[in-house]
Chains A and B, each alone.
Chain A
Amino acid sequence: MQEFVEFTLGGISDGVIYAAIGLSLVLIWRGTRVLNYAQGGMAMFTSYIALVIIDAGGSYWLGFVVALATGLVLGAVLERAVVRPTIGKPPLNAVIVTIGLLILIEGVAGIIFGSRNRSFPTPFSIVGAKIGTFDLGPGASPSAFFAAGAVLAAAVLLALLFRYTSVGLRMRASAFSGTVAQLMGVRVGRITTLGWALAGLIGALAGMLVTPQTFLYPNSMDSIFVLGFTAAVIGGLDSPVGAIVGGLILGVLLNYVTGYVGSNLPELAGLALLILVLMFRPSGLFASTATRQV
């Protein structure tokens, strides 16, 4: 029983990270219909920036804030410089460009920061909480609660942004129909940049939260990105709620499979879950568009 609780809580705290990556992918997809394969790389890079500050003597929170700010700026810059020219061209070009960005960012990080694994701090303890002698496991540590809280807060703030602010309204409009929105006076270009900036911020947050466990090196976010992408696809690329639900389900499922079946099988289980969901709902669990019959 204790193992079950430990696996479940641990799975939730892993899933929260996948959800965060998924959320940033959804944000970009809704706004620009581009899938940002470089999202993980950006998160890795901002974590390195944080580490530079922390190593130079700054506090963790200073590094945290700078990382998030860098994510914001990086997202905006990349959108403007590299992704904007691909809009209107075949979508495959945007795919290759973002893959190229990923490879470039990883290479640059390797040159600037070196490729050795670096230890990365957490602000809170990783010791799991107990109820009496019943150990809830690492998923119930202060660090895990912080991660879950941060991602939840980010999701709620995004939801509030979309629903109650005029900026949010403009973002929803340009995602729904860019041409119409432009005709209504929405500066679609700026809105797109803002979307990428916000996604960069959330990605940076995910990076800060997960890097203590992966250690920091240029490819540290690669696998996490794949799992985040899977979470977003399971939930539906148009649905932020879907990304969160998808992330949680994926995290818990992978933990159960590793714990009860075998350590070689979680990825296969993830594939099976993905195929299963997509066979019945080809646009994800929370897809709003009607599925095609063709």
Chain B
Amino acid sequence: MNRSHRLGVVLTGAAAAMSLVVAACGGNSGSSSGALQASAPGVTTKTITIGSHQPLTGIAAPGYDEIAPASNAYFQYVNAHGGVFGRKIVYKYLNDQYNSSITTTVVRQLILQDHVFAIFNGLGTPTHLAVAGFINSEKVPDLFVASGCACWNNVSTYPETSGWQINYIREGKILGTYIASHFKGKKVAFFYQDDEFGLDGVKGLDYEIPASQIVAREPYNVAAANPAAEVGTLTAALKASKAQVVVAFAVPAFMALLRLSELSLSYSPTLVSSDVGSDPITLSGLLNSFAKKTGNFGAQLIQGIITDSYLPSLGSNDSWIQLFTKIHNTYIPKLPMDGNVLYGMSVAYTFVQALLKAGRNPTRQSLLAAVNAGLPQGVSVAPYAYSSTDHDGITGAYMAEVENGVLVPLGPVQVTDNTATGAVTTYSTTQPPAPTSGIP
């Protein structure tokens, strides 16, 4: 081509590159460069403070108490590498013992006394339901609730609230599709927590598994005085129904009790579990006293559990796992590198994605707008559903099996929606690798 054309191409390329750079620096809020301001409650020129409620003690604590420290580890990594536009993230998470009345008090403390910028990753379905109304009435962004209840996707009632992990209805549909195709004609039973968590999961399962296959439904009360006795009785009922496949929507402590009861009743159905209760390291930790002493104790008792996952498998050693393992070894070496730590870092990564999009001087409105405009797929295997009308997070997962203490993928990533008729389809786009800097 002639010289002027080549010059034109070069100039156009340069202009495009410069505009990209300007756009990246300027972000969503429109202000390009300039001094940092204390642009919102919880935002100073040096820090951004966010808050959360987490079960650090109590019945839900096994495993879940690692999530917030893991998120904090990722934030510290980001802080050590320049922060978000030079500001350090301060993560204040308070213990609510999975008790809704304590949640109410600590969230009021975070918002009314500590003036946090946003509530991040509040954990628990019943606990967060107790405070969602208050957080929304105070117009505080309520991002990435650590619960798969479909209730967080309610833009008219809870405009500030959004979910992150795959919600339980979607999860039920994906698990149910797998069961319907791989266990045709077999008897299926449900073991589930008697609240929104279990009920939403069962709803999804019912959309996909033919009703004729379902022989028993055993809900458990998470607040029972003697959980072991309760689960023992329910497992006896499962056994009496002669179910060959048991689908469980249960927290890790109750999953472990289920396995123990099955063992004591000499009952070994195929166990399919929600992602919530199937982290191999947590489960084997709870069970290790019961397995024969062969090195990795509890792994024997969880061999073969089928579950789903929406994050890269810990055994795959892909770029995301390498990044997070490095951060784990630096900041939280005492915690096991398990599914809960992976979860905590992944959701923190997503929050930093949103924060970067919110601009140099973020406000609560700009943070919310960043999520409403959609977030690019990051650490999850399936895309997010975020839009101004949809506050659901991850839309899909892949089936996996627990083998020798690690999740091994069984099939491709599948995506679906929350409705009874929406199909479960394969999602074949490869997941983007982790950024080399580790920061979105």
Contacts and interface: CB of A to CB of B under 8 A. Distances in A.
Do the two chains touch directly in the complex (Cβ atoms below 8 Å apart)? yes
Interface of A: 2-3, 6-7, 10-11, 14, 110, 115-117, 119-122, 126-128, 130, 135, 137-138, 141, 212-215, 217-219, 223-224, 226-227, 251, 254-255, 258-259, 263-264, 266-267
Contact of A119 (B65, B194, B265, B287): B287
Given A116-B65, A213-B257, A224-B226, A7 B263 contact: no
12 contacts: A3-B236, A3-B240, A14-B226, A117-B286, A119-B285, A128-B266, A138-B264, A212-B290, A214-B228, A215-B62, A258-B230, A263-B220
A242 B174 CA distance: 53
Nearest to B286: A119
B264 A127 contact: yes
B225 A227 contact: yes
B235 to A, nearest CB: 9
Nearest to B227: A214
A203 B155 CA distance: 53
A275 to B, nearest CB: 17
B214 interface: no
Contact of B221 (A3, A6, A128, A264): A264
B289 A128 contact: no
A14 to B, nearest CB: 5
Residue from the set B228, B256, B257 with the largest chain A CB neighbour count within 10 Å = B228
Interface string B236-248: 1101100000000
A117 B264 contact: no
A263 B266 contact: no
A267 to B, nearest CB: 6
Query: What 5 pairs between A and B have smallest CB-CB spacing?
Result: A213-B228, A138-B264, A121-B289, A223-B225, A119-B289
Interface residues of B, number: 41
Given A138-B261, A213-B260, A6 B236 contact: yes
Given A121-B289, A266-B225, 17 more contacts: A6-B236, A10-B229, A10-B232, A116-B65, A117-B61, A117-B62, A117-B253, A119-B298, A127-B263, A127-B266, A128-B265, A137-B236, A215-B62, A263-B230, A263-B233, A264-B194, A264-B221
Which label, helix, strand, loop or mixed, suits the secondary structure of the B interface?
helix
B290 A126 contact: yes
Contact of B234 (A127, A212, A217, A258): A258
Contact of A263 (B219, B240, B289): B219
A215 B285 CA distance: 11
Nearest to A270: B225
A138 B232 contact: yes
A215 B221 CA distance: 17
B313 interface: no
B289 A259 contact: no
A263 B253 contact: no
A222 B62 CA distance: 18
Interface in B278-321: 285-290, 298
Contacts of B225: 223, 226-227, 266-267
Interface string B65-92: 1000000000000000000000000000
Nearest to A110: B57
A116 B61 contact: yes
B287 to A, nearest CB: 6
Given A116-B65, A223-B225, A258-B234, A263 B286 contact: no
B224 A266 contact: yes
A192 B221 CA distance: 41
A115 B61 contact: yes
Interface centre among A127, A135, A138, A267 (most CB of B within 10 A): A138
B116 interface: no
A126 B229 contact: no
A121 B229 contact: no
A126 B260 contact: yes
A61 B57 CA distance: 30
Contacts of B289: 119-122, 212
B237 A3 contact: yes
Contacts of B288: 119
B237 A137 contact: no
Nearest to A121: B289
B220 A128 contact: no
Contacts of B58: 219
A113 to B, nearest CB: 12
B394 interface: no
Interface in B178-227: 194, 218-221, 224-227
B56 interface: yes
A259 B233 contact: yes
A8 B236 CA distance: 12
Contacts of A137: 236, 264-265
Contacts of B285: 119
Nearest to B218: A263
Contacts of A266: 224-226, 229-230
Contacts of B266: 127-128, 130, 135
A218 B227 CA distance: 16
Contacts of B290: 119, 121-122, 126, 212
Contacts of B237: 3, 259
Nearest to B220: A263
Nearest to B261: A138
Nearest to A212: B289
A122 to B, nearest CB: 7
A282 to B, nearest CB: 24
A134 to B, nearest CB: 12
Interface string B358-374: 00000000000000000
Contacts of A10: 229, 232-233, 236
Contacts of B240: 2-3
B263 to A, nearest CB: 6
Contacts of B230: 258, 263, 266
A16 B128 CA distance: 39
Contacts of B226: 14, 214, 223-224, 227, 254, 266
Given A6-B265, A126-B263, A126-B290, A116 B233 contact: no
Contact of A126 (B194, B218, B256, B264): B264
Contacts of A263: 194, 218-221, 224, 230, 233-234
Contacts of B234: 258, 263
A127 B260 CA distance: 9
